[in-house]
């Protein structure tokens, strides 16, 4: 029997109304939203369920996403399915760590709130940018970034043929033009508030590291795979440093999925808004079983997964 991974999406998957049916149908899921609201002094149900501008502001997006993922996770856990490993894309690493027992939801949501503020305030608007590069190999993209004047790096290794670059606005634009010349099918500027996962956020990462020193970090009950190095994390020795570096380093999602598959994972359960990770996993390995849980009706799909 193969292994099971719980995976959690990151910023960008949010939408108004996410998690509302879980809030309305399950008392314990409703309590997650209420608990986050009390801790942060933010009306999470209004933030997540109503059309509003705040949902796409990093400071608020991140707490909305993590709260929603955890409200959904509670119901997935009731199915009796136990993951062998957890992982998350960028922000999704936090619900993955909460699911793994690394930190409590109460402390995790506080950290995420601070993380969102730090990332939002790290670079003045218009100074940095990000772009998705489609249809070009990793090596070519890395070489172009290295040879482009200014700050520009690979921010996300999502899946074969889909890479995100990040850095100074002018450098990203120069690299984008070169990548088109090198044969990229498309290079799409992203509507984001900053150059995430680039060296321009190093100060924010260092500040986050200090915040993380104020909370308890446990050894994982369930291993999780870190974005920074695509390695299994089985103790708490380097977790703070890895999370600080994650803010300004490349997210190695494709490598993380490949690592889990090599370790015997053949079923991925995406828990959270959207189907982004479901699509990435299928492009990495079509033979894997992938299930996404974002509506209460999706819980029926879990009956397809054999209990260990």
Residues that are catalytic: 90, 197
CA distance readout (Å), 77 to 116, 187, 195, 207, 289:
27, 39, 35, 34, 18
| Strand partners for 166 | 130, 153
Contact assessment for residue 155 and residue 147, using Cβ atoms and an 8 Å cutoff: no
What does 265-299 look like in DSSP terms, one character per residue? EEEEEEESSSSHHHHHHHHH-TTSEEEEE-SGGGG
DSSP symbol at 195: -
List C-alpha distances in Å: 164 to 34, 127, 276.
Answer: 35, 17, 14
Q: Compute CA distances 159 → 135, 137, 154, 260, 301, whole Å.
A: 10, 10, 13, 14, 24
């Amino acid at each position: 029997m193969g292994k099971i991974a719980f995976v959690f999406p990151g910023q960008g998957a949010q939408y108004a109304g996410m998690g509302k049916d879980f809030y309305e149908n399950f008392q314990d899921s409703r309590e997650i939203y209420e608990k986050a609201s009390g801790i942060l002094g933010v009306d999470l149900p209004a933030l997540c369920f109503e059309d509003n501008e705040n949902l796409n502001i990093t400071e608020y997006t991140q707490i909305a996403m993590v709260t929603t993922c955890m409200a959904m996770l509670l119901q997935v856990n009731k199915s009796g399915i136990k993951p062998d490993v957890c992982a998350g894309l960028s922000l999704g690493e936090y619900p993955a760590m909460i699911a793994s027992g690394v930190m409590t939801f109460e402390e995790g949501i506080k950290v995420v709130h601070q993380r969102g503020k730090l990332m939002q305030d790290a670079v003045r608007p218009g100074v940095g940018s990000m772009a998705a590069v489609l249809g070009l190999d990793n090596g070519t993209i890395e070489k172009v970034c290295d040879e482009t004047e200014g700050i520009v790096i690979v921010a996300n290794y999502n899946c074969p043929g889909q890479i995100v670059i990040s850095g100074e606005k002018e450098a990203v634009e120069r690299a984008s033009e070169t990548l088109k010349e090198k044969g990229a099918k498309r290079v799409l500027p992203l509507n984001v508030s900053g150059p995430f996962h680039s060296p321009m956020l190093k100060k924010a990462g260092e500040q986050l590291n200090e915040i993380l020193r104020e909370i308890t970090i446990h050894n994982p009950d369930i291993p999780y795979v870190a974005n920074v190095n695509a390695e299994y994390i089985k103790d708490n020795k380097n977790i703070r440093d890895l999370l600080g570096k994650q803010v300004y380093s490349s997210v190695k999602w494709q490598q993380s999925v490949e690592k889990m598959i090599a370790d015997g994972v053949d079923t991925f359960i995406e828990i959270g808004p959207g189907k982004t990770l479901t699509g990435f996993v299928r492009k990495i390995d079509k033979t894997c079983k992938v299930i996404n849980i974002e509506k209460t009706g999706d819980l029926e799909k879990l009956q397809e997964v054999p209990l260990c």
